[in-house]
A and B are shown apart, each in its own frame.
Chain A
């Protein structure tokens, strides 16, 4: 780091560009905007922002926030740097491979943009409690995991105390895949939340087991055969490590042999790795667009200098530039921010086990390990083990023997801080 002028690192005209926006209102600026020194002081000396994820979007987000004038930035990431990150995660170099992303990224930003403090945390978002999240004014997410997004979304919604306006933390969420991406602004309990839009997620491609076992036609079928059927058969309890090149190599050889047997072409190392790791293509330019959009919203919200996105922006860059900005509506029966019961109609013959299967698969629910209760009565609990064992016999019972028509079931999940009320109707 260079011996820069003052402790804050500021020099005359440092914010020449940004200040043009902060010194006067525009035609669409909210009347509450305090143009001039007051807003600059808040942004540069008081505002505390949390960035979740220091990967493709995270690197871009950190750089943009630092240049925009945010000076107290925190970043959380549980990953270490891999060589395949280097085509887009521009705060990392070859020598950093294996190091924690949050720490390397924080150091890089502090060296490049003097006077900005970046506090890294190398670990999981679930390690932190409500008090931790309460200290921030804003949260930006650049994540590749649906589970992590659901967790932080539910956590921030639960944090809202109607008596304390400061407890409402705006959440800005970005996501990309190839040339496509989206950015959105979530005001917990006020606007549509991440859980409200769960049905917008693409369904992951799942190949039927009979195709994999008996009638493979695509190279992907051969790879699935190798990883789903052959690996456990040959290796027993040894877990498949998709980051271990030897394991991928084994799968590749097996898939290749099967492909040859069935005269199927196209099994490659790269495809094998892509299928078993569910790799999503990612490029710097798309991350730049989406991260810039997220940071632009953060800047507008933090300063009130201009209206902010209401509330969803999606972009497709494959065929010219197509984008769509719209207001995603709240869902009254959202298990996180809605509170109203979700009506479902099932057959009188359905067992509890069948109902659970539906909860796992239904596009707008997708609860991986649901526990079910009716009032104080346990129907089925995934944990602790004693309770699981005690409630297990209920799995085979018919739901209609346990719950009357129009009765309610409360669904909770150990991995997510929310509960969903189901009103059961029988067809």
Chain B
């Protein structure tokens, strides 16, 4: 035993591993979150940011740093003294009078050599008015707009809504003991297997036994997803592929060979046991996962003989079948049906209260807290405060990363923030 060990050390140390390349080292702290696949998604994303405001540059900073592929800032305005005071990505006083987009792009690009950034000085109205302009906007993977006027925001959101996006898919476990008596018998069996008292692995097994029966073979949120109808307008190829995969998954669960379960994930959770049994179980797990994957592909081929779907996408779908989630957005403005025509001129407490009353209905009594919110808005109607801009910059960038990497769940609805008492809330969830 001693001899083999020393040989191992010798072999191992003659081949000292070099540390990872510069890029991996630079992105180390984020690769631990979204791995190479998330990074590749970020690096191929193209972002359009409308306006170079303090909030916009704060958002961009948090996306240029992790290495987004490309960004374009669309903004025809010149830097005002007020802009130079609240925007970190302008050169203070010396930027005044220069184009905001150009000043911001050059300072943002400094943050990361591998990111491509362009300043576009055209007017959004003009772009939206022309067919090639609308196509240009649709060529981006994500569009972020800050403080646009209501009418132009409506036009933009309509354009983007009509260009359908594919549902995001993200990444969770078999006819087991059913009655109380069966469950107790099962637990007692585990206990009897324990050769001497206080064997912690048996205690753990007994404690974890509920997992076998507490979850139905297919979690309810996933069953609901499986029965989701297709969106009428959705005609993109990725949507067709996704719905084919969903139907195949439904057929898989109904097939006699799958015993009504979702495909097995190949990762086995850690448990207190010896190495040999753990590795054996892990191999069994992997074999089953492989078998499930093959069965899935056979069904897919049978049900959709003419459809060609990228093999890697099918593998990712099967592997993550326990964590599928479909998020359906709504067009901007669906919630607040009557668009508010709030210009800076009429932001008085009275005008705001009237506006809210017309949104919620005339008979509805308004809560006292509303006056607090209205009072704060009327106090600083046009203020883009540095801290609020930075807070929003972080939040919007987190959402952008979640949408692009498809590894975390984005907000569905409107996120509202109160930075007086410091809390967030989600309203208008579908």
Chain A interface residues toward B at CB < 8 A: 2, 4-5, 9, 11-18, 20-21, 24-28, 60, 63-64, 67-68, 83-84, 86-88, 90, 93-94, 112-114, 178-179, 183, 211, 214-218, 234, 245-246, 248-250, 252-254, 256-257, 261-264, 269-270, 273-274, 279-293, 295-297, 299-300, 306-307, 309-310, 313, 315, 317-321, 323, 325
Given the complex, which residues of A lie within 8 Å of B12, measured CB to CB?
253-254, 256-257
Q: In angstroms, how far is the closest chain A Cβ from the Cβ of B389?
A: 8
Instruction: Tell whether, in the assembled complex, residue A112 and residue B91 are in contact, meaning their CB atoms are under 8 Å apart.
Output: yes
Q: Is B148 an interface residue (CB 8 A)?
A: no
Q: Lowest 3 A-B CB distances belong to which pairs?
A: A288-B394, A27-B375, A289-B394
- Smallest CB separation, A228 vs chain B (Å): 16
Tell me, yes or no, whether B362 is within 8 Å of chain A by CB.
no
List, in ascending order, chain A residues with CB within 8 A of B29's CB. 84, 87-88, 279-283
Q: Are A292 and B388 in contact (CB under 8 A)?
A: yes
Contacts of A281 in B (CB 8 A): 29-30, 32-33
Of B202-210, B269-277, B313-321, B330-338, the one with at least 4 CB within 8 A of chain A: B269-277
Q: A13-B80, A313-B422 are in contact. Are A286 and B398 (CB under 8 A)?
A: yes
Residues in B whose Cβ lies below 8 Å from that of A234: 9
B172 adjacent to chain A (CB < 8 Å) = no
Answer whether residue B278 sits at the interface, using C-beta atoms and an 8 A cutoff.
yes
Contact flag A2-B93 (CB < 8 Å), given A112-B88, A253-B13, A292-B388 = yes
12 A-B pairs with CB atoms under 8 Å apart are: A11-B81, A27-B375, A216-B275, A218-B270, A264-B279, A269-B17, A284-B62, A284-B65, A293-B422, A296-B391, A296-B419, A320-B410
Residue B103 at the A interface, CB < 8 A? no
Q: A17, B384: Cβ atoms under 8 Å?
A: yes
CB of B235, distance to nearest CB on chain A (Å): 28
Residues on the A chain within 8 Å of B391, using CB: 288-289, 292-293, 296
In contact, B398 and A254 (Cβ under 8 angstroms): no
Contacts of A94 in B (CB 8 A): 113
Smallest Cβ-Cβ distance to B23: which chain A residue:
A83
Give chain B residues whose Cβ lies under 8 Å from the Cβ of A315. Answer: 424
* Residues on B with beta carbons closer than 8 Å to the beta carbon of A257: 8-9, 11-12
**CA A398 to CA B383, docked complex, whole Å:** 66
Determine which of B19, B92, B274 lies in contact with A245 in the assembled complex, contact meaning CB atoms within 8 Å.
Answer: B19
A-B contact count (CB 8 A): 282
Q: Are B380 and A253 in contact (CB under 8 A)?
A: no
- The reply to whether the CB of B215 lies closer than 8 angstroms to some CB of chain A is no
Answer whether residue B94 sits at the interface, using C-beta atoms and an 8 A cutoff: yes
Chain A residues, CB < 8 A from B9: 234, 254, 257
Given contacts A21-B383, A317-B398, contact A93 B110 (CB under 8 A): yes
| CB pair B25 A83 closer than 8 Å | yes
Is B69 an interface residue when CB atoms closer than 8 A count as contact?
no
| A24 CB → nearest B CB, Å | 6
Q: Determine whether the beta carbon of A16 is less than 8 Å from that of B81.
A: yes
Kindly list chain A residues whose C-beta atoms are within 8 Å of the C-beta of B85: 11, 13-18, 67
Say whether B70 faces chain A, with CB atoms less than 8 Å apart: no
Determine the interface band of chain B, counting residues with CB < 8 A from chain A.
35 or more
A89 to chain B: closest residue by CB: B65
Residues of B within 8 A of A214 (CB): 274
CA distance A248 to B28 in the complex (A): 15
Pick from B26, B272, B420: contact of A26, CB under 8 Å: B420
* A284 & B61 in contact (Cβ 8 Å cutoff): yes
B169 to chain A, nearest CB (A): 15
* A63 contacts across to B, CB distance below 8 A: 88, 390
C-alpha spacing A12/B81, complex, angstroms:
7
Are B110 and A20 in contact, with the CB atoms below 8 A?
no
B177 at the interface (CB under 8 A from A): no
Bound-complex Cα distance A261 to B275 (A):
11
CB distance from B396 to the nearest CB of A (A): 8
Task: Say whether, besides A17-B385, A27-B372, A283-B66, A83 and B415 are in contact (CB < 8 Å).
Answer: no
Give the residues in chain A near B379, CB-CB below 8 Å. 20-21, 24-26
**Is B408 interfacial (CB 8 A cutoff)?**
yes
Q: Return the chain B residue nearest A177 by Cβ.
A: B33
> A320 contacts B412, CB within 8 Å?
yes
Determine the chain A residues whose CB is within 8 A of the CB of B422 once the complex forms: 183, 293, 296-297, 309, 313, 325
Distance to closest chain A CB from B44 (angstroms):
18
Neighbouring B residues of A270 by C-beta, 8 Å: 20, 24, 28, 31-32
Q: Complex formed: what's the CA distance from A46 to B66 in Å?
A: 37
Is B371 close to A, CB under 8 A?
Answer: yes
A248 to B18, CA, bound (A): 9
> With A and B bound together, what is the CA distance between A64 and B388 in angstroms?
10
Shortest Cβ distance from residue A401 to the other chain B in the assembled complex, whole angstroms: 31
Nearest CB of chain B from residue A406's CB, rounded to whole Å: 34
Q: When chains A and B are docked, how far (Å) is the Cα of A363 from the Cα of B244?
A: 51
- Residues in A whose Cβ lies below 8 Å from that of B15: 253
**Whole-angstrom distance between the alpha carbons of A250 and B91 in the complex?**
47
On whether the beta carbons of B408 and A64 are closer than 8 Å, the reply is: no
Is A263 in contact with B279, judged by CB distance below 8 angstroms?
yes
| Interchain CA distance A68-B86 in the complex, whole Å | 8
Chain A residue with Cβ nearest B390 = A292
C-alpha spacing A86/B371, complex, angstroms: 44
